[in-house]
């Protein structure tokens, strides 16, 4: 099972421009991939999730680097269950 969400906006937020009035916090591309096996007593599930950089807040913070959240994810999450 897989999910991919691609979003696009032609607006770029400039935190140094105090007259800027339009921005969408949290808007970013994302992807999820899930694989699973359910055979007899064995159940396995492996998932990966990724999210691209996104606008975290609107305003002029002390450090401009705090405005955007960096891309993250890609770390696998695995769960296993064995029913005896």
| pLDDT value of residue 63 | 62
**CA quadruple 6, 10, 13, 16: dihedral, nearest 10:** 150
Instruction: Convert 21-56 into a string of H (helix), E (strand) and C (coil).
Output: CCCCCCCCCEEEEEEEEEECCEEEEEEEEEECCEEC
| pLDDT value of residue 17 | 73
| pLDDT value of residue 72 | 87
Q: Which of 47, 48, 5, 9 is nearest to 30 (CA)?
A: 5
| pLDDT value of residue 59 | 66
| pLDDT value of residue 44 | 92
Stretches in the chain below the pLDDT threshold 70: 15, 18, 20-21, 59-66
Domain ranges in the chain are: 2-82
Q: What is the pTM of this model?
A: 0.65
């Amino acid at each position: 099972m897989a999910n991919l969400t691609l979003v696009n906006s032609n607006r770029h937020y400039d935190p140094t421009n105090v007259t800027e009035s339009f921005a969408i916090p949290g808007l970013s591309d994302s992807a999820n991939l899930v694989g699973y096996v359910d055979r007899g007593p064995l159940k396995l599930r492996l998932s990966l999730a990724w999210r691209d950089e996104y606008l975290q807040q609107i305003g002029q913070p002390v450090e401009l680097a705090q405005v955007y959240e960096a891309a993250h994810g890609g770390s696998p999450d695995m769960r296993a269950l064995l029913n005896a």
